[in-house]
Amino acid sequence: MSTEDTMHNNEHDHDHHGNFWTTYVFSTDHKMIAKQFLISGIIWALLGGALSVIFRLQLGFPDMDLSWLKPVLGEWIDIQGKLDPEFYLALVTMHGTIMVFFVLTAGLSGTFSNFLIPLQIGARDMASGFMNMLSYWFFFTSSTIMFISLFLETGPASGGWVIYPPLSALPQAMSGSGLGMTMWLVAMALFIVSTLLGGINYITTIINMRTDGMSFTKLPLTIWAFFLTAIIGLLSFPVLLSAALLLIFDRSFGTSFYLSEIYIGGEALPNTGGSPILFQHLFWFLGHPEVYIVLLPSLGITSEIIATNSRKPIFGYRAMIGSMLGIAILSFVVWAHHMFVTGMNPFLGSIFTLLTLIIAIPSAVKVFNYLTTLWKGNLIFTPAMLFSIGLVSYFISGGLTGLFMGNSAIDIQIHDTYFIVAHFHLVMGSAAFFGMLAGVYHWFPKMFGRMMDAKLGYIHFWFTFIGVYLIFFPMHYIGIAGFPRRYYSWTNFDTFNGFTDLNMFVSIAAIFTFVAQFIFLFNFFYSMFKGRRATANPWKSTTLEWTTPVDPGHGNWPGDIPKVYRWPYDLGKPVNDEYAAKFSDEEMKNVPDFIPQNIPFSKTPETNFPNENELIALEDEDDKAIEVK
């Protein structure tokens, strides 16, 4: 053990420690894999954002000459410089797929679960570094295939990110349903394998590799969030795999799982007896849990950041865990709220209305707990803290609109309008993105040993925070006015032919927000090499990752893994009456306002509560017991 540890100390001499390939490419170190996921996620986010800018140009400036995009889009821009309507749908589809799966699932969970799980539970690495590496490379292969599909002559998949058949099953219906859709399915199958490998690893690690004392009631909320996310993923992604499998059979082998009584392209297809609705049930059985797979990690990250930067414990630690558990369980029984107007049995619709509105309760609890954590805190606005507050704001505004749509009677009118687009971009898209950005700002010092520039972070935050609201808030209005989503243009309808100005406004806001992300990019890459050197615990935080050296090497801790004695939120703990009576003002001031998890109670008599003092004796015995061994 000890020789191994000294080896870790010499990590930076990088003489005996692997070559370029094993260190940076086929690495099995969880921190490197996390960075790989992060960088891939950032690249995908840029691409996904760029796609949205193109279709926002179409919506905001329908008369614009897009010829200048010809070098990139080629045939998809016609001679008059108009975007092809089918490619518009391809853009929307790929934007959704990329953002939901590649950025906010792989980029977010992949980065932070990998990075934080071993560091925060006190483990040297993941349960299986090899599986972890496989997980990344499956993701990479999947990404490559999805990326290549963007350049197919027939276009990438274009049937919406939910790929409802028959549209996605029949190349006659749209050209994107040909090879593009095949590649989409292959890429997603690989993606699912990647997610499952990752998830199995996360769960195994959290269950089996916690350091001594790290019971489930002492886990940071981040870990709880990652844990539940992985479980949700493990239970729901296989279902998407089934759905995709049956779709592949329908597409390639002529079965009729989802196809029935179709006349298309001048001929009646032989398929009968299939049910398109079946696909929707299977898809949304994944699809709804998926939105929480996207959101929960962000909620975990912000819980941690808000507590740290409020200098007080997260309010209602147990309630937070409880609400996440509630959300995780309920997320499996609400899927059909996406299908109220599919002609599904109305009684089922009632049941799902009921269950859907129940899921709003744990969400509300989380919001109130965040607010109470801020209340009477000593708030430090690091960029990470700002983004966390931003997340709470989006979570509220997007969650509230859920109450409209969860009510099946109201949903009839607003289903598939821009109201939905506003809802999920706020509550899922932007909130999860903010969680991710907050996480990057917060853990950057641990990832790269340097600090990101705070001022640029502030500018980035305010531009993005306001920008996102400027994009999505007006969409509620457009949605209330009835505008359907996934429309190439609205000029064909008198009903929808107003609001050109508003659409233009939204598009400008979108471009503005997109451009603002380059501030982050610059900050990120610049700070990686030139940023101010970080200290080991720059935010005065309590969790275990901050007890590692500035640049934790392979194995994370040079010496023994720290043991855990207390919960992760001993922030701003008051001096107890006994000591308050005898401490001078100066002494009072010097009591630190945070106590890391690895500090035994015996070292902090001045802040212990009576029941904690009782534990001290035991601690000592335990230490001895281990030493004897």
Chain residues binding ligand HEM by CB under 6 A are: 162, 291-292, 294-295, 337-338, 356, 359-360, 363, 399, 402-403, 405-406, 411, 415, 420, 423-424, 427-428
Least distance CB 347 / ligand HEM (angstroms) = 17
593 binds, among ligand HEM, Cu ion, another protein, none (CB under 5 to 8 A by kind): another protein
Least distance CB 167 / Cu ion (angstroms) = 9
Least distance CB 428 / ligand HEM (angstroms) = 3
424 binds, among another protein, Cu ion, ligand HEM, none (CB under 5 to 8 A by kind): ligand HEM
295 binds, among Cu ion, ligand HEM, another protein, none (CB under 5 to 8 A by kind): ligand HEM
Q: Choose between 53 and 235: whose C-beta lies nearer to another protein.
A: 235
Q: Choose between 335 and 465: whose C-beta lies nearer to ligand HEM.
A: 335
Q: Choose between 162 and 504: whose C-beta lies nearer to ligand HEM.
A: 162
Is-contact 201 128, C-beta < 8 A?
Answer: yes
Least distance CB 153 / another protein (angstroms) = 16
Residues 441-470 that bind Cu ion (CB under 5 A): none
List all residues 6 or more positions away from 552 whose beta carbon is below 8 Å from its beta carbon: 31, 119, 446, 545
Q: What is the 3-state secondary structure (H, E, C) of 445-464?
A: HHHHCECCCHHHHHHHHHHH
List all residues 6 or more positions away from 370 whose beta carbon is below 8 Å from its beta carbon: 302, 303, 306, 315, 392
245 binds, among Cu ion, ligand HEM, another protein, none (CB under 5 to 8 A by kind): another protein
Least distance CB 449 / Cu ion (angstroms) = 40
Q: Choose between 219 and 232: whose C-beta lies nearer to ligand HEM.
A: 232
List all residues 6 or more positions away from 280 whose beta carbon is below 8 Å from its beta carbon: 162, 164, 338, 339, 342
624 binds, among ligand HEM, another protein, Cu ion, none (CB under 5 to 8 A by kind): none
Give the CB-nearest residue to Cu ion: 288
Q: Choose between 7 and 245: whose C-beta lies nearer to another protein.
A: 245
What b/e string do you get for 203-238 counting C-beta neighbours within 10 Å, with b at 16 or more? bebbeebbbebbeeebbbbbbbbbbbbbbbbbbbbe
Q: Choose between 292 and 557: whose C-beta lies nearer to ligand HEM.
A: 292
Amino acid present at 284: W
CB half-sphere exposure, 113, CA atoms < 13 A: 37
Least distance CB 22 / another protein (angstroms) = 22
What b/e string do you get for 304-327 counting C-beta neighbours within 10 Å, with b at 16 or more? bbbbbbbebbbbbbebbbebbebb
427 binds, among ligand HEM, Cu ion, another protein, none (CB under 5 to 8 A by kind): ligand HEM
Q: Choose between 262 and 506: whose C-beta lies nearer to another protein.
A: 262
579 binds, among ligand HEM, another protein, Cu ion, none (CB under 5 to 8 A by kind): none
Q: Choose between 335 and 443: whose C-beta lies nearer to Cu ion.
A: 335
Least distance CB 432 / ligand HEM (angstroms) = 6
Residues 278-297 that bind Cu ion (CB under 5 A): 288
What is the Cα–Cα distance from 277 to 283, expressed in whole angstroms? 10
Least distance CB 476 / another protein (angstroms) = 9
249 binds, among ligand HEM, another protein, Cu ion, none (CB under 5 to 8 A by kind): another protein
Alpha-carbon separation of residue 540 from 220, 221, 380, 401, 458 (angstroms): 15, 17, 11, 37, 20
Give the DSSP H/E element, type plus range, for residue 264. strand 263-264
174 binds, among Cu ion, another protein, ligand HEM, none (CB under 5 to 8 A by kind): another protein
359 binds, among ligand HEM, Cu ion, another protein, none (CB under 5 to 8 A by kind): ligand HEM
- Cα angle value 199/297/570 (rounded, 5°): 115
Interface pattern 236-275 for Cu ion (x via CB under 5 A)? ----------------------------------------
Least distance CB 48 / ligand HEM (angstroms) = 14
Least distance CB 290 / ligand HEM (angstroms) = 8
At how many degrees (to 10) do helices 179-208 and 108-121 cross? Answer: 10
425 near Cu ion, rule: CB under 5 A: no
Q: Distance between the two ends of the chain, CA-based, in angstroms? A: 14
**How many other CB atoms sit within 10 Å of the CB of residue 262?**
20
Nearest residue to 377 (alpha-carbon basis) of 318, 312, 434: 312
Residues 482-511 that bind Cu ion (CB under 5 A): none
Q: Choose between 7 and 162: whose C-beta lies nearer to another protein.
A: 162
Q: Choose between 9 and 413: whose C-beta lies nearer to ligand HEM.
A: 413
Least distance CB 170 / another protein (angstroms) = 7
What b/e string do you get for 568-587 counting C-beta neighbours within 10 Å, with b at 16 or more? bbbbbbeebeebeeeeeeee
Q: Choose between 14 and 603: whose C-beta lies nearer to another protein.
A: 603
What is the Cα–Cα distance from 601 to 620, expressed in whole angstroms? 10
What is the Cα–Cα distance from 308 to 303, expressed in whole angstroms? 9
Least distance CB 229 / another protein (angstroms) = 14
296 binds, among Cu ion, another protein, ligand HEM, none (CB under 5 to 8 A by kind): none
Q: Choose between 22 and 342: whose C-beta lies nearer to another protein.
A: 342
Q: Choose between 35 and 197: whose C-beta lies nearer to another protein.
A: 197
Q: What is the 3-state secondary structure (H, E, C) of 90-124?
A: HHHHHHHHHHHHHHHHHHHHHHHHHHHHHHHHCCC
Least distance CB 430 / Cu ion (angstroms) = 17
Q: Choose between 41 and 435: whose C-beta lies nearer to another protein.
A: 435
Give the CB-nearest residue to ligand HEM: 402
Least distance CB 359 / Cu ion (angstroms) = 9
Nearest residue to 418 (alpha-carbon basis) of 372, 339, 476: 476
> 379 φ, ψ to 5°?
-80, 125
What is the Cα–Cα distance from 485 to 100, expressed in whole angstroms? 17
601 binds, among Cu ion, ligand HEM, another protein, none (CB under 5 to 8 A by kind): another protein
- Cα angle value 87/92/98 (rounded, 5°): 120
What b/e string do you get for 106-142 counting C-beta neighbours within 10 Å, with b at 16 or more? bbbbbbbbbbbbbbbbbbbbbbbbeebbbbbbbbbbb
Q: Choose between 418 and 539: whose C-beta lies nearer to ligand HEM.
A: 418
What is the Cα–Cα distance from 430 to 471, expressed in whole angstroms? 11
Handedness of CA 399, 400, 404, 408 (dihedral sign): positive
Least distance CB 20 / another protein (angstroms) = 29
List all residues 6 or more positions away from 589 whose beta carbon is below 8 Å from its beta carbon: none
Instruction: Report the interface residues with Cu ion, using CB under 5 A.
Output: 288
